[in-house]
Amino acid sequence: MSSNFTDTPIQVRWSDIDALNHVNNAFYLSYFELGRLHFLTEKVNAEFFKEFSMVVARIEVDYLVPITMGDRITCRTWINHAGNTSLIFGNLLFRDDKEIISKGSVIAVFLDRNGQKSTVPKEIRNMVIRDSEALP
């Protein structure tokens, strides 16, 4: 199993629950964001972000199974593609029993400290893994 992913425990909060008694679709994006932040803080030197930043350009979400209060959720995050100036992060939300409940893909564009597009550094490119390597 690859070590180029991170698992982030997600606590489902009352404020995440909608009138149908499951997590509102919008909160999945927050869960993916928590996963990206955890991935970047675990895998990339903090000094790196003095030179670069990233902005989200696109997000795709497949909602497979509803999340309800009391579910113990994990967000797995990895990089599944590196372009010249962008990365594609993969995300899976799954329950403790490894049931995949959501799949996500986030395109993030690299910016230099002047806010201009910047080339993805080699050390980040070296973190790319296949989606199949990230399955629970």
pLDDT, tens digit (0-9, with 9 covering 90-100), for 22-78: 999 999 999 999 999 999 989 987 777 778 889 999 999 999 999 999 999 999 999
Q: What is the pLDDT of residue 98?
A: 86
Q: For the domain covering 5-134, report its CATH number.
A: 3.10.129.10
Q: What is the pLDDT of residue 1?
A: 43
**Per-position DSSP letters for 75-104, written without gaps between them:** EEEEEEEE-SSEEEEEEEEEETT--EEEEE
Tell me the C-alpha distance between 69 and 29, whole Å. 17
Is 42 in a helix, a strand, or coil?
helix
With beta carbons less than 8 A apart as the criterion, state whether 73 and 84 touch. Answer: no
